[in-house]
Amino acid sequence: MTSTTPLLDTVRVPADMRQMSKDELVQLAGELRAETIHAVSVTGGHLGAGLGVVELTVALHAVFDTPRDRLIWDVGHQAYPHKILTGRRDRIRTLRQGGGLSGFTRRAESEYDPFGAAHSSTSISAGLGMAVARDLKQEKHNVICVIGDGAMSAGMAYEAMNNAGSMNSRLIVILNDNDMSIAPPVGAMSAYLARLLSSGTYRGFRSFAKQLAKKLPHFFEDTARRAEEYARGMASGGGTLFEELGFYYVGPIDGHNLEHLLPVLRNVRDADNGPILVHVVTEKGRGFEPAKTAADKCHAVAKFDVITGTQVKSKATAPSYTRVFADSLIEEAERDPSIVAITAAMPSGTGVDLFAERFPDRAFDVGIAEQHAVTFAAGLAAEGLKPFAAIYSTFLQRGYDQVVHDVAIQGLPVRFAIDRAGLVGADGPTHAGAYDLAYLGALPGFVIMAAADEAELKHMVATAAAIDDRPSAFRYPRGEGTGVALPERGEVLPIGRGRIIREGGKVALLSLGGRLAEALLAAEELGALGLPATVADARFAKPLDEDLIRQIVRHHEVVLTLEEGSMGGFGAHVLHFLAREGLLDGGLKIRTLCLPDVFLDHDRPERMYDLAGLNAPQIVEAALTALGGADAGLTAPRRA
């Protein structure tokens, strides 16, 4: 049978591409795009961004000597074509599966991934560090950072560029601009000028002219400088900002035209000094018709039909937690005009897009700028509004100093809606919401809640809206709820008060957040062993329900705390309270079940929670072990 990817079949590593002609590279790009589409149709994952950089990926690996030359992909979700070309094609259909390839770049996975990235806007900082290390070691190789226009909305990118410009270290930044269409300004004339401006001849003449101008009177020097900037500004489509930061700007050029890309990248590769920024314009979702009509250009997809683009999604049996949050916040905002919502470039992921449809003047997407988002919310709160900052747990980490300094110390009532709390499956450790209980729980004055189900989430939205004298946060998992009935209206919960769900005997399971369902299953299994267990929902990680905890430890031999968070979170606060009160002195057997002190690789969520010891069978085993296990004649029942 004739292969549909004959050229791609010959590429095991990028070196295999470097003798190919331009026409062969064009064919290779077409085959690579088809392979990427087919692979993601099998696994699901990020699609649009990768399709937008197919030609750029081919050009970079054809021109540069990777992995000796360091190629850093910002975020990394657009690196699927890169993985196919760098010796991982045979595993590309294991993307985001247990034991398979990561959905992002990862140092441990390949020498072609010099820096792991799943959060945006880190590439230039990392690349500059590598470039300076190269110079200090007196080595000779290139460092190339590919960063998208969205990632350039984060302050960290500009901090890095400002530093790079002042150091004059040889660094190449590719600005992948997929927010504008490929229009005539990015055509043949622009490509010609980009080749000219990036050539060694022009750069040498420009340096000579600058030195000559300095010998002339100030008026002539200033006039020459302005004329050169004007000429380059007209040619480039607006590179003045990057020039002011110290970068030599080239572009914009069509990122899908290898005839334009290859000569410019060769010129940039051969430059003696830097830093240089190449502005490349691409189209997200390029070459896949369904992406052109999708609002998000098929940013993240489930498994899909290659022909129609129809995604295979399981039918939801309950609304997602994100949807419940959005609907609940809208309901609160209908009654309270002071409620506003903030997100950092994740409007659909957090549900703020739905809030924005109803209240367009009260919803704010600040871009990939979590630090700014937090302090912006603090400013809103300082003026008497009720800001809800809806930010994934993993991304809120990026604004932690602002949470401490601008919110907590000032006691401002910013409400943090923390989506993706706990483990998140295919996105792996970079996106796990593992640490918010620990990093927020350390801050005085915070109210921290965790929703056990979607009804509790609705109550917690109402509770946060009512807390007006201090900061608060409520966390909830990714995905569907448990299917419980939703109340007509969220009620304001008494601060720092949990609830007993089920009364039992020797064993008590004190759960915070999304493990409550597993705690109830564990209680059923313990009951079948003749050990009816008490199950309590703490609701609050801070302040603790101290009365509830006292009641539990005084009437139970074994107490297990359960949480979808790291060490140092809810269980640690319970232990600290018990130690302070002397409640550990009487022989209480307490175990704190939390996420293990390792980064758990991507897998199915249920498998990850098995490994973490937080599903019902492991909870039962922990309780029996605490009671004496086999020594006491207790063993967990085997499951088929």
User: What are the beta bridge partners of residue 176?
Assistant: 148, 280
Task: Taking each helix axis as running N to C, give the angle between helix 258-269 and helix 22-43, from 0 to 180 degrees, rounded to the nearest 10.
Answer: 100
Q: Active-site residue 137, yes or no?
A: no
Alpha carbon distance 620, 599 (integer Å): 24
- In the block, tokens 């004496």 appear at 628
489 vs 333: CA distance, rounded Å: 12
What token pair was written down for 82?
Answer: 């890169």
- DSSP for 386-399, written as a single string: EEEEEEEHHHHGGG
Residue with the two structure tokens 């109210």: 447
Give how far Cα 438 sits from Cα of 417, 443, 541, Å: 16, 9, 10
DSSP string, 258-315: HHHHHHHHHHHHT-SS--EEEEEE--TTTT-HHHHHSTTSSSEE-SB-TTT--B--PP
The pair phi, psi for residue 173, each rounded to 5°, is -115, 125
What's the distance, CA 368 to chain centroid? 10
The helix or strand, by DSSP H or E, that contains position 143, with its residue range, turns out to be strand 143-148
Both tokens of residue 296?
Answer: 């998000």
Query: Which of 106, 170, 284, 475 is flagged as catalytic?
Result: 284
Q: Report helix, strand or coil for 483.
A: coil
Q: How far does the chain reach from its first CA to its final CA, in angstroms?
A: 44
Reduce the DSSP state of residue 74 to 3 states and report it: coil
List of residues 6+ apart from 116 with CB closer than 8 A = 76, 104, 105, 106, 107, 108, 430
Q: Please provide residue 478's backbone torsions phi and psi, each rounded to the nearest 5 degrees.
A: -80, 150
- 47/300 Cα distance (integer angstroms): 6
* DSSP at 407: I
Q: For residues 222 and 202, give the distance between their C-alpha atoms in angstroms, rounded to a whole number.
A: 20
Closest by Cα among 419, 425, 464, 229 to 322:
419
- Tokens representing 253 are 């050029």
Residue entry with tokens 């000094």: 273
Distance CA(523)–CA(424), nearest Å, equals 25
Burial of 280 (0-12, 13-18, 19+ CB in 10 A): buried
Cis peptide preceding 185, ω within 30 of 0: no
- What three-state secondary structure class fits 450? strand
Q: Which residues contact 135 (CB under 8 A, 6 or more apart)?
A: 169, 170
The residue annotated as part of the active site, out of 70, 83, 134, 398, is 398
What totals of helices (H) and strands (E) does the chain contain, helices first? 25, 19
- Please confirm, yes or no, whether 398 is among the known catalytic residues: yes
Total length of the chain = 640
| Residues classed as catalytic | 284, 370, 398
